[in-house]
């Protein structure tokens, strides 16, 4: 008999331990793992967050274009890796919310210390279950699933923002390199004038006052180049960090970022369906749904906590009993009223936050559209001036070589032409940067009017 009880107890213990998770330590890394070679990073186009990226071929062997940089950022950005871990946590929470509450087993034994013949040891064996947890479980499961959708959509929105940031840094790198070329031409022009001014000053053919303008202009051109090179270096570092690469990793950026004019009517039409397409707005809707269910769960939980169980017992006189046990809390003081108030206030906050976010998104889009119209008009004016100055510079070249134009007038005309080129590049960069931001704000790729040419 004792052997049978021994076997049964060991079988029961083994069954209880079979479902237990094991523990394995996972120490922190001694140093961050960051790639130095783009070719080492695996990029799965099928997992990209935008259709344009999913249809784009990733091949770093011939350089990285603007879309390949965005794809690399989605695949290897460190913050996105942390966000994906949070999605894993949300899925684990949803799994936990779906589990049934464990039953409670109570066992007691009493040995008599005095008494006459016929006394025996007493025991009590009870098995109970929390009924209220069973009642709130369906609502808790739905709330956890809605929260998981919210975290998943938040991750998608972060991926969109990383794509936008990658494109923005690509555009800045592209336009700043163009600007650097113009500034170097400007520096070369003023450096030559400064050299001649120093020579004339040394020979006594030019006063210091007359030479100072050329010397200051040459120094200012050098200062502008130094400042732009610092910005380029900062831009490269930001791009390395965004892509999860070792700082200083050399990237071969290729291609341009020229876009046709915006289709404003198409952009405004997309605003009508913005709440059904933008991941952050969809995430807020999922979060509100989850909070709505949490509020309902809190209302259900105001009812008394109820546990029901069966009891099997034997007293010291060897009398066996079988009964039912009920444990009921009395909602006299708490009644879960505080938690209900918290959940309702949280729901109201999410409701107002969603409305504010939709209104702000539309306002941002309208603001960028107005700015785009202004910048495009300014760019057209600058390009018209460039064409006029270009023709004047061509005539000035011939006149200067023929000795019919003074060096001062010729240098002034060339400096004006270079200044307009700098202005055009700066405006082009601002337009492209706003286009990148607008693509994210309207929920995907921009509707463009290719019939009007490119800019």
Residue 258's pLDDT is: 66
Average pLDDT, the chain: 83
Average pLDDT in the 210-220 region? 70
**Residue ranges of domains in the chain:** 64-113+120-452
pLDDT tens, position by position, 426-447 = 999 999 999 888 888 887 666 6
pLDDT for residue 351: 92
pLDDT at 170 over 90: yes
Banded pLDDT at 8 (limits 50, 70, 90): very low
Does residue 276 surpass a pLDDT of 80?
yes
Segment among 23-37, 110-124, 180-194, 205-219 with least mean pLDDT: 205-219
CA-closest candidate to residue 72, choices 5, 153, 181, 166: 166
Count CB-CB contacts under 10 A for residue 97: 19
Band of residue 212 on the pLDDT scale cut at 50, 70, 90:
low
pLDDT above 90: percentage of residues in the chain = 26
**Cβ count near 91 (within 10 Å):** 16
Confirm if 185 and 225 have CB atoms less than 8 A apart: no
What pLDDT is stored for residue 99 in this prediction?
81
Residue identified by tokens 């050329």 is 214
**What is the distance between the alpha carbons of residues 332 and 246, in angstroms, rounded to a whole number?**
62
What is the model's pLDDT at position 402? Answer: 76
Measured between alpha carbons, how far is 373 from 379 in angstroms, rounded to an integer?
10
Distance CA 169, CA 172 (A): 5
The predicted model scores a pTM of: 0.79
What pLDDT was estimated at residue 450?
A: 44
User: How much is the pLDDT for 451?
Assistant: 47
Residue 12 has pLDDT above 70, yes or no: no
pLDDT of residue 163: 92
Nearest partner of 171 among 239, 260, 264, judged by Cα:
239
Instruction: Choose the weakest-confidence range: 18-22, 312-316, 427-431.
Output: 18-22
Distance (Å, whole) CA 445 – CA 114: 87
pLDDT at residue number 1 = 43
**pLDDT value at residue 206:** 63
Q: Which helix (H) or strand (E) holds 310?
A: strand 306-314
**Whole-angstrom Cα distance, residue 125 to residue 9?**
15
Neighbours of 197 (CB within 10 A): 23
> Is the pLDDT at 132 greater than 70, yes or no?
yes
**Average confidence (pLDDT) over 32-46:** 83
Residue matched to tokens 């009642």:
135
**Which tens digits make up the pLDDT trace of 76-115?**
999 998 888 888 888 888 888 888 888 888 888 888 887 6
More confident residue, 161 or 26: 161
**Edge-to-edge order in the sheet of strand 122-130:** 104-110, 122-130, 306-314, 320-328
pLDDT confidence of 207, banded at 50, 70, 90? Answer: low
What's the pLDDT band for 334 if we cut at 50, 70, 90?
confident
- Indicate the pLDDT class of residue 414, thresholds 50, 70 and 90: confident
**307-311, 367-371, 399-403, 437-441, range with the lowest pLDDT:** 399-403
Give the confidence band of 184 by pLDDT, cuts at 50, 70, 90: confident
Q: Rounded mean pLDDT of 22-27?
A: 78
Average pLDDT over residues 8-30: 64
Report the pLDDT value the prediction gives residue 231, as an integer from 0 to 100.
92
Residue 255 burial (CB < 10 Å; 0-12/13-18/19+)? middle
Is the pLDDT at 291 greater than 50, yes or no? yes
Q: Could you please state the CATH topology (level 3) that the domain comprising 64-113+120-452 is classified under.
A: Outer membrane efflux proteins (OEP) (1.20.1600)
* Rounded Cα distance, 77 and 41, in Å: 11
10 Å CB burial of residue 421 (0-12, 13-18, 19+) is buried
> CA 63 to CA 240: how far, in whole Å?
15
pLDDT reported for residue 34 = 77
Of the ranges 94-98, 118-122, 202-206, which one carries the lowest mean pLDDT score?
A: 202-206
Residue 448 · residue 261 · CB < 8 Å: yes
Q: Between residues 232 and 187, which one has the greater pLDDT?
A: 232
The CA distances from residue 155 to 80, 94, 159, 286, 350, in Å, are: 7, 17, 6, 13, 19
| CA–CA gap between residue 434 and residue 442 (Å, rounded) | 12
Average pLDDT on 243-251 reads 87
Region 358-383: mean pLDDT is: 92
């Amino acid at each position: 008999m004792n052997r049978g009880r021994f076997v049964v107890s060991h079988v029961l213990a083994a069954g209880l331990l079979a479902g237990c998770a094991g523990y394995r330590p996972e120490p922190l890394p001694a140093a961050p793992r960051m790639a130095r070679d783009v070719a080492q990073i695996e990029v799965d186009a099928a997992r990209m967050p935008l259709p344009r990226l999913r249809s784009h071929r990733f091949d770093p062997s011939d350089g990285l274009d603007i879309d390949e940089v965005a794809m690399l950022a989605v695949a290897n950005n460190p913050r996105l890796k942390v966000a994906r871990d949070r999605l894993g946590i949300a899925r684990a929470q949803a799994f936990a919310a779906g589990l049934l509450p464990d039953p409670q087993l109570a066992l007691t034994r009493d040995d008599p210390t005095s008494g006459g013949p016929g006394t025996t040891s007493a025991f009590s064996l009870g098995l109970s279950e929390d009924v209220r947890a069973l009642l709130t479980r369906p609502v808790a499961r739905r709330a956890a699933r809605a929260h998981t959708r919210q975290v998943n959509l938040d991750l998608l929105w972060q991926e969109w923002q990383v794509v936008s940031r990658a494109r923005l840094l690509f555009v800045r790198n592209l336009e700043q390199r163009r600007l650097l070329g113009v500034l170097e031409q400007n520096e070369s022009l003023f450096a030559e004038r400064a050299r001649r001014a120093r020579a004339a000053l040394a020979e006594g053919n030019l006063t210091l006052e007359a030479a100072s303008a050329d010397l200051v202009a040459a120094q200012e051109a050098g200062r502008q180049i130094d400042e732009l090179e610092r910005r380029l270096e900062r831009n490269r570092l930001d791009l390395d960090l965004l892509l999860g690469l070792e700082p200083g990793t050399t990237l071969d950026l290729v291609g341009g970022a020229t876009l046709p004019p915006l289709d404003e009517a198409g952009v405004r039409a997309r605003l009508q369906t913005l709440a059904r397409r933008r991941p952050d707005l969809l995430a807020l809707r999922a979060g509100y749904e989850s909070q709505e269910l949490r509020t309902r769960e809190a209302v259900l939980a105001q009812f008394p906590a109820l546990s029901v169980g069966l009891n099997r017992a034997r007293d010291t006189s060897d009398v066996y009993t079988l009964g039912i046990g009920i444990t009921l809390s009395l909602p006299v003081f708490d009644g879960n009223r505080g938690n209900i108030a918290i959940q309702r206030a949280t729901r109201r906050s999410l409701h107002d936050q969603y409305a504010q976010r939709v209104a702000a998104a539309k306002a941002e889009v309208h603001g960028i559209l107005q700015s785009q119209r202004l910048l495009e008009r300014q760019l057209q004016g600058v390009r018209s001036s460039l064409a006029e100055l270009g023709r004047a510079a061509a005539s000035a070249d011939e006149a200067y070589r023929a000795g019919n134009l003074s060096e001062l007038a010729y240098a002034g005309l060339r400096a004006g032409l270079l200044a307009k080129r700098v202005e055009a590049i700066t405006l082009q960069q601002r337009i492209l940067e706003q286009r990148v931001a607008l693509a994210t704000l309207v929920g995907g790729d921009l509707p463009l009017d290719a019939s009007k040419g490119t800019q």
